[in-house]
């Protein structure tokens, strides 16, 4: 049977933005963690109409979108970064799971690490295209070379795609 969980060692990346020997170790997020992340990404609030003192309704339903970029970045760093050798100017190792230290991180280094996290937690364009065409056999990584499995999208049954994600959901399921 195919392994369907996040397994394996974190990936080691040399940081070009932190010479001479900066590195970061990043793990892949589980599907549940990625769903938690989506809950953070955008919060939507609505406001019901109000009545003025004369009993006349004023205004209308108001929808507000709140983008949570810092919160999602902090979540990503907390869930994915499992090791690094980055320090502050006093030689103290940064704790990239805290808002304080993440705010101090050099933007180039932060963007490079975010790029590696995206690489590990997203389908590549080629994988998305193969998956949409129903011709994909997606490779799931594992520590054990004998446990490495292929997931054939046709085994998922008749499916539709989530807009913008290329991910299948059962027909009649919610997107």
Separation of alpha carbons 119 and 141, rounded Å: 14
- The pLDDT of residue 37 is 87
Mean pLDDT of residues grouped by 10 in the chain (175 residues)? 83 96 95 87 68 68 73 94 96 96 96 94 71 56 40 34 36 41
Listed by start position, the domains of the chain span: 1-49+58-122, 124-175
Q: Is the pTM here over 0.75, yes or no?
A: no
What is the phi/psi pair of residue 25, to 5°? -115, 125
Which ranges of 18-159 does DSSP label H, i.e. alpha helix?
Answer: 31-41, 69-80, 99-104, 107-121, 125-132
């Amino acid at each position: 049977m195919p392994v369907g969980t996040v397994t394996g060692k974190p990936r080691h990346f040399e940081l070009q933005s932190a010479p001479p020997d900066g590195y970061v170790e990043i793990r892949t997020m589980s599907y549940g963690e990625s769903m938690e992340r989506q809950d953070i990404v955008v919060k939507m609030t609505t406001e019901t109409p109000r009545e003025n003192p004369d009993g006349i309704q004023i205004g209308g339903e108001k929808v507000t979108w709140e983008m949570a970029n810092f919160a999602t970045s902090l979540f990503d760093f907390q869930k994915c970064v499992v090791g690094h050798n980055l320090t502050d100017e006093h030689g103290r190792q940064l704790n990239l799971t805290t808002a304080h230290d993440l705010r101090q991180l050099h933007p180039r280094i932060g963007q490079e690490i975010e790029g590696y996290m995206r690489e590990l937690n997203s389908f590549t364009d080629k994988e998305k295209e193969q998956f949409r065409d129903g011709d994909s056999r997606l490779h799931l990584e594992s520590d054990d070379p004998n446990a490495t499995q292929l997931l054939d999208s046709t085994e998922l049954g008749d499916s539709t795609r989530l807009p913008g994600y290329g991910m299948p959901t059962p027909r009649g399921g919610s997107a």
